[in-house]
Structure 1
């Protein structure tokens, strides 16, 4: 999914929707591309739309590079981002630029005339008011452009026939509610499949309040569920031309073990995010971290390997390193991460990855291989014991509350004094793994 953030075409950033995009990525198992398009008033209509279209077209032409599927391309956005997503879908259809599998519109702006009843009902809010929306429109739309221009107000497009299936969310106390519902009706009139939901009692922007509103979490889960339902009806591009589709319950085709390359990083990281979740492994003492992952590749790339199918899918990876102890003649091989896609577990992928690391460790003079896993990860324990690992030892973690320490209290008083700002000390070296 290519996602466009809201903010009235004037405000907003990637950070503002990062939590939602990450949740969608995890809950729907989607590759999400979030777009940092140019903003008004410096860049008025149609500049932001052109940016969004350029990114979407690039993604459509480079899905293999990103590890995606061009047959399952979606656009989505919230508020002004929903406006841009709808306009991208409209122009793509009208100009036959690329084919979309769907569009996800979250309380979208579809009518810049501000003429529907919800603008009267909720003129003074909540959160978004009629006056603030008028100001956003003035910044975005040049005075010479008709507010009913179909790429600014998709509600007034001549024809919506041929647009992709649409998921559409509105909020019950949102000035934009009625134009979202009106657009859903126009799509239905044009024989477009529409799944809509009105979140009663919610205000504009609620979906980004995941930490405070259970409805926000419910909404993102609903979107993930409906997106998966929609995409399940779309044939997989690779299933048409090659064997070895990861989504299949019956794995086909062979795989090879090869060194990880720079172009593999995004796909390996995405697979790791699927495998090492806090929900599945709440007691894992370390997390699948982007910085740590990249550092591993940049410093020990000769110990970074992947398993790849005939269809070009990354189905597993092994990341390792050589360790040495001071005052010891021994060298150790460290298996930092070993992961296999769930559809390929039990097919020998993990064993072949581990065997390759073992050969490399021996070549480098290692006399022992170290691994760690959760004590209750029975599947991993069985696998490693079968491969000859033993001597399991539990980690013991202790904690100390520093808030009662005299030095902590002294520092707190010093940093909270007038004119002082609390600045974290980022100059300290990152602790190294023993």
Structure 2
């Protein structure tokens, strides 16, 4: 396996952070947001605006960013949940990826700025995602969208949230998404070959993964957690929405995505898995700087467009 050379050079310039409780998260988040805002914009859309939507009962409102690729009415709608280990990531860090998703898949996108850990551990992010999804279903037509064509998408931790939403929505009396697009998702597959083979790969080290998990789960006792927080090991996957799972070749979580896609297919769900050669975890963040990353993301955009418009 050989990394794309432009990607390798880009990664070599990134800071090597030690993920522990001494890390200044506020500074890390601010630096990531500043870098993302300074990046060239990859797609100009008809409308991009920020707003607040009702949050879970007793919780603050949830910030969302709405992307409309054109003024045409009746477009499908996609709820997008960003990655970052539930600890970092924001509307800004994933702005370019969501712009391209809206443009290429011809979909209105509602991107969700869910609460982050460790300040807001589980179930905050899940509850914010569900609240934003509830609002999106109710207001799809107001956004120029089609209420009958609503999908969910996410990358990394956001990919897990997107998968969890497909399980949890019917439990809350909500219509499930018509499609789930998951990019290098964490699915709780447990020890895997890719986790062993790429433990030291740039983009996601074991210490970082373990710290994210501790921050996300907080003090929640394991017996209190729903099985679908590890969707790759959930007992019943039947009846879930069709899925497209995109992974990166040199990613400890590659087999998380592959196993989830396989288990969905075994449960009778239409599911497709595609692995991107020469890519590492988090490549959606590098679309402005690494042409190969943008090419690697294109199959995901195409899959969502086909699901929504086919």
TM-score by length of 2: 0.71
Matches within 5 A, 1:242-257: none
Matches within 5 A, 1:219-298: 219-233=296-310
Q: Distance in 2 between matches of 1:128 and 1:101?
A: 30
Q: Which residue of the partner structure matches residue 285 of structure 1?
A: none
Q: Distance in 2 between matches of 1:63 and 1:221?
A: 25
Q: Which residue of the partner structure matches residue 239 of structure 1?
A: none
Q: Distance in 1 between matches of 2:232 and 2:221?
A: 16
For the residue of structure 1 that corresponds to 2:280, the secondary structure is coil
Q: Which residue of the partner structure matches residue 279 of structure 2?
A: 202
Specify which of 156, 175, 200 is matched with residue 124 of structure 1.
Answer: 200
Q: Which moved more, 1:216-225 or 1:81-90?
A: 216-225
1:23–1:220 contact (8 Å) kept in structure 2 = no
Q: Which residue of the partner structure matches residue 43 of structure 1?
A: 120
Q: Distance in 2 between matches of 1:88 and 1:77?
A: 11
Q: CA RMSD in A?
A: 1.6
1:57–1:98 contact (8 Å) kept in structure 2 = no
Specify which of 80, 84, 104 is matched with residue 3 of structure 1.
Answer: 80
Q: Distance in 1 between matches of 2:220 and 2:128?
A: 21
Question: Is 1:59 matched with 2:59?
Answer: no
Q: Which residue of the partner structure matches residue 165 of structure 2?
A: 88
Shift of 1:212: 2.5
Specify which of 125, 132, 135 is matched with residue 211 of structure 2.
Answer: 135
Misfit runs of 4+, over 6 Å: none
Which structure's residues are more often strand, by fraction? 2
Aligned residue pairs, count: 232
For the residue of structure 1 that corresponds to 2:108, the secondary structure is coil
Matches within 5 A, 1:3-42: 3-42=80-119
Shift of 1:4: 0.6
Deviations for 1:359-400, whole angstroms, at most 9, x for unmatched residues? Answer: xxxxxxxxxxxxxxxxxxxxxxxxxxxxxxxxxxxxxxxxxx
Computing the radius of gyration over CA atoms, which structure comes out larger, 1 or 2?
A: 1
Q: Distance in 2 between matches of 1:116 and 1:60?
A: 36
> What are the ranges of 5 or more consecutive residues in structure 2 without an aligned counterpart?
1-77
1:71–1:100 contact (8 Å) kept in structure 2 = no
Q: Which residue of the partner structure matches residue 146 of structure 1?
A: 222
Question: Is 1:191 matched with 2:268?
Answer: yes
Question: Is 1:102 matched with 2:179?
Answer: yes
Deviations for 1:193-241, whole angstroms, at most 9, x for unmatched residues? Answer: 11221012210011221122223222333222211211234xxxxxxxx
Q: Which residue of the partner structure matches residue 115 of structure 1?
A: 191
Q: Which residue of the partner structure matches residue 293 of structure 2?
A: 216
Q: Distance in 2 between matches of 1:3 and 1:41?
A: 21
1:118–1:174 contact (8 Å) kept in structure 2 = yes
1:85–1:103 contact (8 Å) kept in structure 2 = yes
Q: Which residue of the partner structure matches residue 344 of structure 1?
A: none
2:166–2:177 contact (8 Å) kept in structure 1 = yes
Shift of 1:96: 4.3
Q: Which residue of the partner structure matches residue 176 of structure 1?
A: 253
Shift of 1:73: 0.4
Q: 1:96 to 1:187 in 2, by over 3 A?
A: farther
Specify which of 63, 66, 72 is matched with residue 149 of structure 2.
Answer: 72
Q: Which residue of the partner structure matches residue 161 of structure 1?
A: 238
Q: Which has the higher contact order (CA 8 A, sep 6+)?
A: 2
Shift of 1:118: 1.5
Q: Which residue of the partner structure matches residue 40 of structure 2?
A: none
